[in-house]
């Protein structure tokens, strides 16, 4: 792999994309003027995508009937999709480049704490782009922590108070990026694979 991580960030060098949403019922969407509501089954969902594979994990897992009624709520799950990983990766990469991910990540300040007295008061979104790193050894994402910024990894981490509109807390370009990223993730149908 011909990569130079000391050069300006390049979308051509991206090898993994990580996305987290914490505190909303999936599938997640982010609209600037619509207040964020936790919904009936707020989850923490993490997805990691690379050219050859993908992994999604989350908890709790909320099963629904065909009518959309909540039928089961379990501790955690790994999820799968029948879409090819390369297709999901290309879709996410196109969004990141079009919405200028690196510029937005460089301009952000760290997210505030989303918990107060053990109660979640905000929704957290995180997008991390890993450059010039090999594919993960394990596809289990359930118990891994979020990627940390380093010369190979650029992270955008934001929080929006529950009940607030994203446009009241974030720059419009960040709102657009988050909505486009969530759309790119949930354009694929993810289903529970291992529930525990």
Can you give the residue ranges of every domain in the chain? 11-188
- pLDDT at residue 186 is higher than 70: yes
- pLDDT at residue 83 is higher than 80: yes
- pLDDT at residue 110 is higher than 70: no
pLDDT in tens, 67-76: 767 666 777 7
- pLDDT at residue 141 is higher than 60: no
pLDDT band at 26 (very low <50, low <70, confident <90, very high): confident
This prediction has a pTM of: 0.87
Least confident of 37-51, 117-131, 171-185: 117-131
Phi first, then psi, for residue 12 (nearest 5°) are -70, -20
Check residue 195 and give its pLDDT. Answer: 61
Length of the chain: 196
- pLDDT at residue 39 is higher than 60: yes
pLDDT (average), residues 116-122: 69
Alpha helices by DSSP H, listed for the chain, are 85-98, 101-107, 166-169, 172-186
pLDDT band at 25 (very low <50, low <70, confident <90, very high): confident
Check residue 104 and give its pLDDT. Answer: 94
Cis previous bond, 60, omega within 30: yes
Cα–Cα dist 98/184, whole Å? 13
CB 95, CB 76: distance < 8 Å? no
DSSP string, 57-97: EEESEEEE-TT--EEEEES-EEEE-SS-HHHHHHHHHHHHH
């Amino acid at each position: 792999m011909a990569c130079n991580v000391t050069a300006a960030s390049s979308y051509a060098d991206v090898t993994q994309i990580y996305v987290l949403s914490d505190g909303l019922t999936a599938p997640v969407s982010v609209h600037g003027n619509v207040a964020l509501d936790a919904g009936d089954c707020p989850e923490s969902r993490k997805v990691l995508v690379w050219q050859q594979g993908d992994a999604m994990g989350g908890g709790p897992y909320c099963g629904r009937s065909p009518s959309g009624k909540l039928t089961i709520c379990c501790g955690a799950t790994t999820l799968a999709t029948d879409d090819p990983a390369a297709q999901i990766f290309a879709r996410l990469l196109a969004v990141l480049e079009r919405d200028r991910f690196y510029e937005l990540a460089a301009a952000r300040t760290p997210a505030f704490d989303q918990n107060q007295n053990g109660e979640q008061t905000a929704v957290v979104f995180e997008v991390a782009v890993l450059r010039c790193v090999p594919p993960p050894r394990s596809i289990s994402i359930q118990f891994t922590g979020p990627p940390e910024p380093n010369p190979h990894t650029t992270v955008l981490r934001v929080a929006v108070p529950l009940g607030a509109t994203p446009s009241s807390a974030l720059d419009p370009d960040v709102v657009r990026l988050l909505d486009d990223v969530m759309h790119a993730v949930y354009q694929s149908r993810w289903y529970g694979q291992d529930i525990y």
